[in-house]
Each structure stands twice: as structure tokens, then as C-alpha cells.
Amino acid sequence: GVTTYSPMKHWKVGPGQRVAVVGIGGLGHMAVQIARALGATVTAVTRTTEKQAEAEKLGAHDVLISTDSKAMEAHEMKFDFIIITIPDAFEVNDYVKLLKRDGVITTVGLLGPYKDPLNNMEMAMHRRSISGSIIGGIAETQEVLEFCAEYNILPEVEIIKIQDINEAFEKMKDEEVRFRYVIDMASLKEA
């Protein structure tokens, strides 16, 4: 959870703030739970309605379908903080419009460039910011472990054998995993 906790702590996410979590997978499912525990009003943002029930179960107050242009337009200038967990190139400008004045987007999944250049006019008009974050340090990792223990925040995992790693990788590429695979290290003896 430190990958999503660290930027939320840095940007002081808390009560009275509206937070959007874009991408409800391995990182996003933790971000929803952490933002909720920090006291924010949380909206999960996903491409399909299939993840709506899961996002609500994780603690999202609302679910926004990013492929619904009318819904996206209705949420313009609604969020103080947006954390984007998408690991692949995406259109960042669609999410910039969702930020309030002085709002911040932090990307934690994408390590490469966005699909299209950032629209600087949208940034400047409302004094919006974009930041990135990779992971926290050792002290912050201990802090998030204690925080998650206090609020009973747990990752959703599926335990697999090492022998099933190739099949799991294909399912991950096809977005069929919910939310993380964890390898049973005892299965190494069987290899």
C-alpha cells in the first residue's frame, strides 16, 4: 500500500477532500481503501461498470465510468486529488479537467509518457498540478503497515503456485486478475 499511501500523505489527503482513484486494480484497490480511511470522499474511476460493485465494496462512495463522456463532463472540477494507477500510456487531459482549482493529479502506475501531450492551458487556467510517485521509503512502509492494521485494510490477493506463473501472466495481460497474484513459495519445492 505504500505506493498509493505515500503520495496521499505528501499531498495531505484527508477529511473534506474529494479524491478520485483511477484504475481499480492492484494499486487502485488499495488506494480506494486508504483514501477512505484518511477521511476523504472517494470516487473510483474505471472504464466499465463491471468493477462498480467491487469498488463500492472496497469503500468507494461513488463510481465514475471514464468511457461515459457525459459522466466525465458532469465531474469536471470536482476533485481535490486524483491518483492514477494505470500502468500503460493513457490520455491524461481527460482527468485534468476533473480537478478543482489547485487540484493535484499523481500518477503511480505509468513510468512512460502519456498518450498525448499535456494541455498546459487546462493546467494554468486553474492552477492545477501533476506529480508522480514511485514508492515510499522504509519508514513510510512501516507507517503504512501500521495504518493498514489500524483500519483493517487488506490487499485482495489470489495465491498461485510458481508452476502457474505463465498462465497468471497471460491473465494479468488480459486484465482477468482481481487484484493481485501472490506466489506460494512452498510451490518452489515442486518445480
Answer yes or no: are the C-beta atoms of 180 and 167 closer than 8 Å.
no
pLDDT value for 135? 87
Is the pLDDT at 172 greater than 90? The verdict is no
Mean pLDDT of 47-76: 95
Mean pLDDT of 29-35: 97
Is the pLDDT at 191 greater than 80? The verdict is no
Going by C-alpha positions, the residue among 15, 39, 11 that lies closest to residue 129 is 11
Is the pLDDT at 11 greater than 80? The verdict is yes
pLDDT value for 102? 98
Q: Which three cell numbers stand for residue 164?
A: 502457474
pLDDT value for 41? 98
> 79 - beta bridge partners?
99
Query: Using one digit for the tens of pLDDT, what is the confidence trace for 112-161?
Result: 888 888 999 999 999 999 999 988 889 999 999 999 999 999 998 989 99
Answer yes or no: are the C-beta atoms of 164 and 183 closer than 8 Å.
no
